[in-house]
Structures are given as structure tokens and as C-alpha cells.
Structure 1
Amino acid sequence: MNGILRGYWCECWTQNLNTDQQPTLHASFDAHSATQADRWIAITLRTITPALDNAASEQAWEWLYEGRIDTRRALLRAEPCAVTVAQADTRITWTVRPVTFVPLAHRRGTELPACAHDFKPHATD
């Protein structure tokens, strides 16, 4: 099929381990290669490392120096991956999973699928 691209959907979640609260999504990113997906995690980890406690910082650097290659290999095999760092009572998890990006229908010069006409915009007050 023309226009379909394989890539990776990346997300960053946090969860407070002392509450029943569900994890919170903080960021998402569409990567078009395994390299781009694992680079997103690496850049984020390097950015936040100075603010982490010693244990969390060690977890981050361990992945950066040792675990990153395993993550890259898994992504190249189209396997989902997760990287987790625990900071005090907060767990931060980056997830990456292989996806197929389907192009959106262009609204000009093309008949949209029937389901497009079922969409009703949400009314605002």
C-alpha cells in the first residue's frame, strides 16, 4: 500500500507509587527509525539526570552505557521496549513500540470515506 510507513510510537509516563492514581502520560513522539526512538529516550535521560537522586541517576546511566544497545537491537527486531527509572516515590517509564503510520486522507480532490461524515465536532460553551 502506498504511503504507509513503519515507525515507532514513543511515550513517557510517570506514576506515583504511593497512591492508587493511574499513570500519567507526559509526552509522546513518533519516531521513524529505531535510532530516532532510542535517541529520544537517551536525550531525555541525559537532560533529567542532574535532577535525579543518586539511585535514579545510576539507573539512567546504566541504561545509557549498557542497556541502550539491547533496546536498539530489540527495536530493530520490531519488539516493544520500555526503560524505567525510579525517583523517590515516582516511576518514570519510556515506552517504544513498533507501529504502522497510515497517511491521513487529503480533504481536497478526494472522496473521504463514509465514516468521515459521521464526525460531529464537540460543541463548546
Structure 2
Amino acid sequence: MNGPTRGYWCECWTEQVTGTEEPARLASFDAYSAPQADRWVAIALRTISPALDSDASDEAWTWLYEERAETRRALMRSESCTVTITHADIRIIWAIRPVLFLPLTHRQDAELPACARSFKPHHAD
């Protein structure tokens, strides 16, 4: 079994600017390099930019052409980053944070740890 792998956990959230509703997670992504993590945000921004209002579109393209390099440098220093775009009354937030991905034990290739036998199936009554 291999050890932990460094990577980045990426999430996309939306929230109302007024804060009247709970934030909603739209997507998550596991990236294994800083370029892969910031590329996830870049692809999303390029995809949605035609549907954004002009201010939000300007924010998106500013990040893509002026701020993206700094985001990647921060990720390479193992710093968490956020990219935020506000469209009308909705704030869209991409959050990227460094993580360690733990390997999973494959049920066919290895002996499961002893604690695996202590879990009993739950039966609804």
C-alpha cells in the first residue's frame, strides 16, 4: 500500500450576497497538482463567462489573465486560495486547499484491518 499523496481539494460554492440562504456546494474536485487545481477554476470561468453579467465577466477575465499566476504560486507554496465572482445577487466561490490524500485499501488485493470486522450492517426497523 502506498503512503499519502499531496494534492488539492477544490470546491465550488454559491451563496446569496445578502446572506439570507445557506451556501450551497455545487461541485468538488480532487487535484494532484497546483496546475490541475487552478485549471479546474479556469475551465469553469471560461465556461460560464458568457452567461455572467458584464461586471462578473470582467472579474472572471481579470483573474484568468492577471491573477491566475499568483493563485498558482500560492498553491505551490501550499497555501489555500479562493477565487470569487459576484453575478447579480449570487457569489460564486472556488476554494482550493492543500490536502493529503490517503490511499484506500482495495478489498481484493489486501487484508483489511481488524477494525473492518467490527462494523455491522445497519438494519432499518
Report the TM-score, using the length of structure 2 for normalisation: 0.89
* Structure 1 unmatched ranges of 5 or more: none
The letter for the 2-side match of 1:52 is L
Per the alignment, residue 26 of structure 1 pairs with 26
For residues 36-77 of structure 1, the C-alpha deviation after alignment (integer angstroms, 9 at most, x for no partner) is 000000010000000000110111011001110110000000
CA distance in 1, matches of 2:49, 2:95: 18
How many Å apart are 1:81 and its aligned residue? Answer: 0.3
Q: Give secondary structure in 2 for the equivalent of 1:20.
A: coil
Aligned pair count reads: 125
For residues 69-117 of structure 1, the C-alpha deviation after alignment (integer angstroms, 9 at most, x for no partner) is 1100000001010000000110000011111111101212533224433
Per the alignment, residue 96 of structure 1 pairs with 96
Q: Give secondary structure in 2 for the equivalent of 1:21.
A: coil
CA distance in 2, matches of 1:66, 1:2: 38
CA distance in 1, matches of 2:89, 2:37: 27
Per the alignment, residue 60 of structure 1 pairs with 60
Report the TM-score, using the length of structure 1 for normalisation: 0.89
For residues 16-51 of structure 1, the C-alpha deviation after alignment (integer angstroms, 9 at most, x for no partner) is 123432110000011110000000000100000000
CA distance in 2, matches of 1:124, 1:84: 43
CA-based RMSD = 2.0
